[in-house]
Amino acid sequence: MRNTVHTRAVQPNTVIHAADLALTHEPVPADQSVTGDPSTAATALTEFGGLEIGVWEMSVGTMTDIEADEVFVVLSGAATVEFADGSPSLRLRAGDIGRLAAGAETTWTVTETLRKIYLT
């Protein structure tokens, strides 16, 4: 879920420390919030080879989402992603690399604030 994506340009020959990047959280819409009081934040960092690359974060709680085609790397936190179609659940933690298919209906349960770099 990317309710408002703030943009920060990463120029060639520069570095942004994604783990410490300040993000502005927004509440998850009521029709997507399942348990707790989750919020999300996203910042697009750059485009490369036709892909948007950014940082996304979700606080503790459970929410539903419909995914974009995405590859991601988990920087910190812990979560489980369940799929409405019965696909095996994903257990996410720092260092994991995953892929989500466009249109997948998911339920995210975050037990420790989750931060990831996404490519979509």
Strand partners, 71: 99, 119
Identify the pLDDT of residue 11.
Answer: 80
Q: Is there a contact between 58 and 80 (Cβ–Cβ < 8 Å)?
A: no
CA nearest 108: which of 120, 70, 15?
70
Q: What is the model's pTM?
A: 0.91
* pLDDT at position 6: 60
| Domains assigned to the chain | 5-119 (2.60.120.10)
**Mean pLDDT for each 10-residue chunk of the chain (120 residues)?**
60 88 96 98 93 97 98 99 98 98 99 98
